[in-house]
């Protein structure tokens, strides 16, 4: 659930960046040699242009990473995501955090 | 080698070399008065000096220092490169240095002058960020340890926490600190990874070249110190 919420937020962000002069899309505007990943760059853009959305967007990103490692057994082996996150957590990621991202971005 | 120590301001003729515990207590006291902002990190630095002085040689000592630090010992200007590389060092062991600094002709004032010089040092932003990451995150009791390394040309901090279930309030606190650090150190590209306690061993998530900068429940080996346990860990990436 949190992974779906994060990637929804990501596309909201890209929609909002489309309205930012000189950016349009993170993938096409990321400077050569920019330190970090594309995710890092996009997150920096959120901080720079939509700071009110940063914390919720950041939370969704970090927890989607945890959830994927849990579910794919790549890193955290013992605990599946459904044991680590409660149903309430999942609802909050969508109803609260994703919603906040969308509202702050104005999309 | 002269190893006697004169108590400043005392009429006593008794001379003695202070124990490392005494040295640390005095240094801490001085430092707390003069640099409350960075007290934790700096005291840690000197704790490293004290703890390692008895058993470790020069490189470990110099590795404790961040920035440039000169030491005036018996008319020799000894220079140490902060961040671990020794430029010139004679004598070659930390306890020799401390012995010399506390020799009769230098006494405690050498230490005090050195502290004043340290106080004037301005850290590189990356080093300052590292200091403050340890300082701020350690206030959250769920934070168990912090490692740092570089990933994709970006300074990365791995924050290992003790929660075994998702804790939204904890996440809010962690992100609040992260945001504060991003704002304070805009010139240092940095990323933060929060890893809950779901593994028995950190070896599975911390790379060999990661540096431990904070560990709860042990003496903090903060900035610039060589932490064998962190440096020698097996590695695997902890990011997507």
Domain boundary among B120, B143, B176: B120
Show Cβ contacts of residue B10 under 8 Å, excluding neighbours closer than 6 positions.
Answer: none
Q: How far is B175 from chain A (nearest CA, A)?
A: 7
Determine, yes or no, domain membership for B15.
no
- Which among B154, B166, B189 has CB closest to A63? B166
Domain boundary among B120, B143, B174: B120
Contacts of B195 in chain A (CB under 8 A): 66
SS3 readout for chain A? CHHHHHHHHHHHHHHHHCCCCCCCCHHHHCCCCCCCCHHHHHHHHHHHHCHHHHHHHHHHHHHHHHHHHHHHCCCCCCCCHHHHCCHHHHHHHHHHHHHHHHHHHCC
Claim to verify: residue B227 and residue B154 sit in the same structural domain: yes
Structural domain tally of chain A?
1
Q: How confident is the model at residue A68 (pLDDT cuts 50, 70, 90)?
A: confident
Q: Are A85 and B166 a contacting pair at CB < 8 A?
A: yes
Structure confidence by residue, pLDDT tens digits, B97-151: 444 444 333 334 444 444 444 444 456 788 778 878 988 898 899 999 999 999 9
The SS3 assignment for B160 reads strand
Contacts of A40 in chain B (CB under 8 A): 152, 154, 189, 191
Q: How far is A84 from chain B (nearest CA, A)?
A: 5
Claim to verify: residue B71 and residue B88 sit in the same structural domain: yes
Claim to verify: residue B99 and residue B134 sit in the same structural domain: no
Task: Report the DSSP beta bridge partners of residue B103.
Answer: none
Structural domain tally of chain B?
2
Q: How confident is the model at residue A43 (pLDDT cuts 50, 70, 90)?
A: very high
Structure confidence by residue, pLDDT tens digits, B28-57: 554 444 433 333 333 333 333 332 222 122
Domain boundary among B70, B93, B120: B120
- Which among A65, A70, A86 has CB closest to B240? A65
User: pTM of this prediction?
Assistant: 0.64
Claim to verify: residue B143 and residue B210 sit in the same structural domain: yes
Domain range for B37: 20-120
Contacts of A79 in chain B (CB under 8 A): 164, 198
Determine, yes or no, domain membership for B12.
no
Structure confidence by residue, pLDDT tens digits, A78-100: 677 888 899 999 999 999 999 99
Q: Nearest 5°: phi and psi at B76? A: -95, 130
Q: How far is B119 from chain A (nearest CA, A)?
A: 32
Determine, yes or no, domain membership for B47.
yes
Domain range for A87: 2-105
CB B230 within 8 A of CB B206: yes
Return the higher-pLDDT residue of B73 and A76.
A76
Determine, yes or no, domain membership for B239.
no
Question: Is the ipTM reported for this complex over the cut 0.90?
Answer: yes
């Amino acid at each position: 659930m949190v992974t779906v919420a994060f990637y929804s937020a990501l596309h909201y962000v890209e929609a909002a960046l489309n309205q930012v002069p000189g950016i349009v899309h993170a993938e096409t505007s990321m400077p050569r040699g920019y330190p970090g990943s594309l995710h890092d760059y996009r997150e920096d853009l959120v901080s720079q242009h939509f700071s009110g959305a940063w914390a919720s967007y950041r939370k969704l990103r970090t927890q989607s990473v945890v959830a994927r490692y849990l579910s794919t057994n790549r890193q955290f082996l013992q605990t599946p995501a459904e044991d680590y996150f409660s149903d309430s957590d999942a609802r909050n990621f969508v109803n609260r955090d994703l919603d906040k991202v969308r509202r702050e971005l104005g999309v | 080698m002269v190893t006697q120590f004169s108590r400043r301001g005392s009429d006593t003729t008794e001379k003695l070399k202070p124990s490392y515990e005494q040295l640390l207590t005095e240094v801490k006291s001085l430092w707390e008065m003069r640099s409350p902002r960075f007290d934790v990190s700096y005291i840690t630095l000197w704790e490293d000096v004290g703890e390692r002085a008895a058993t470790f040689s020069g490189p470990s000592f110099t590795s404790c220092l961040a920035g440039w630090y000169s030491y005036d010992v018996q008319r020799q200007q000894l220079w140490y490169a902060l961040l671990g590389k020794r430029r010139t060092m004679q004598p070659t062991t930390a306890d020799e240095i401390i012995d010399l600094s506390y020799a009769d002709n230098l006494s405690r004032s050498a230490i005090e002058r050195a502290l004043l010089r340290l106080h004037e040092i301005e850290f590189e932003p990356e080093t300052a960020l590292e200091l403050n990451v340890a300082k701020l995150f350690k206030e959250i009791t769920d934070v168990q340890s912090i490692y740092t390394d570089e990933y994709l040309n970006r300074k990365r901090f791995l924050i290992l926490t003790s929660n075994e279930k998702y804790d939204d309030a904890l996440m809010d606190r962690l992100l609040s600190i992260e945001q504060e650090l991003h704002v304070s150190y805009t010139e240092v590209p940095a990323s933060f990874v929060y890893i809950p306690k779901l593994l028995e061993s950190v070896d599975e998530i911390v790379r060999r070249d990661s540096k431990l900068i904070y560990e709860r429940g042990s003496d903090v080996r903060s900035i610039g110190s060589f932490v064998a346990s962190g440096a020698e860990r097996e590695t695997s990436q902890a990011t997507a």
